[in-house]
Structures are given as structure tokens and as C-alpha cells.
Amino acid sequence: MTEAETIEPDAPIQVLTTRLMRLRYTGTCAACRTTLGRGTTAEWHRPTKTVTCLACVEARRDKPGSLESVPPALVSPIQSLPPDPGEAGASARREYERRHQKREQGIEQKWGRLAPGVKILRDDPQSTTAWAKGSDGERRLAHHLQGGPV
């Protein structure tokens, strides 16, 4: 047994299937598709007969556990689902209308034919308009999340 045939006991398994070498032919990096010219030092993966450029080898080392690099095209971005603009604010709007209607009825019962004038002179109480503002805010937020102008 010679010194060259000795495998280091703590060597990672990938040493057995991959090794750095100077390319005898022009190749393409399996991970980033960069053209690797003849004579370029790259990692040779024996089972798949593919080469990986040193930049991708380094990037792979930064992320232990992901030995097989995934092409960016196969990684789908996380789909964000903005709230339905038709539903957002609907509950607050209903609550506002319910309170508003209740107050209008109260004024009519109390003031009779003078009620229309009373409704104009007196704004809705803060508790009622707050609901309207909340509803408007929710709708504007939903609109904003969809990328439209506020």
C-alpha cells in the first residue's frame, strides 16, 4: 500500500465522488450554467459526469446540507395572497351603517318632522364616525397591498 492510496479517515464522502481538476475540454457549470473554458479548475462530479465552477462550490459550502444545488428557475417564489378588496372593510362598513341607521331612527322618533334638520346640524357621534374611518382605512390598506394608488 502506498501513501497515495490512503484515504483520509475524516474526509467527507463527496471526496469519493467529486474532485477538483483542470478541465481538458470546455464545460458548463451544472449549477450556474457558466461556460468553463479548457484548463479551468473546476469540481468534477463523477456519477453525473458534470462540472461545477469554484464559485458554486464555495456557495454550496456556505449552505451545509444542500449538496445538490437547485437551479433558481425551479424555486418558485412564495405566493402572497392580498386580501380581497371587496371583503376588506365590509364588516366595519356594516357596523357603521348599523349604528348610523339606529341613530337616524332615534332622531326621527325624538324630533319628528324636524329630524332632517337635526341630522344636518349634528354630526354622527365619534363612536360612529370612528367605524367609518376604520372601514375606509381597511379598504385603502387592501388597495395598497394590491399595488394600486392609495
Which region, judged by CB under 5 A, interacts with Zn ion, from 50-58, 65-73, 126-134, 139-147?
A: 50-58
Minimum CB separation of residue 30 from Zn ion in Å reads 8
* Paired sense of beta strands 35-36 and 27-28, if any: antiparallel
> Binding to Zn ion by residue 29, rule CB under 5 A?
yes
Backbone dihedral angles phi then psi of residue 13, each to the nearest 5 degrees: -60, -30
Q: Cell numbers of 112, please? A: 319628528
**Residue whose CB is less far from Zn ion, 58 or 123:** 58
Question: How many residues make contact with Zn ion (CB under 5 A)?
Answer: 6
Which region, judged by CB under 5 A, interacts with Zn ion, from 22-30, 43-51, 66-74, 115-123?
A: 22-30
Decide: 90 and 126 in contact? Cβ < 8 Å: no
Q: Which of 118, 91, 92, 88 is nearest to 103 (CA)?
A: 118
Choose which of 51, 53, 88, 142 interacts with Zn ion (CB under 5 A): 53
> Binding to Zn ion by residue 42, rule CB under 5 A?
no
Decide: 119 and 104 in contact? Cβ < 8 Å: yes
Choose which of 56, 88, 92, 142 interacts with Zn ion (CB under 5 A): 56
Rg (CA), the chain: 35
Binding site for Zn ion (CB under 5 A): 29, 31-32, 34, 53, 56
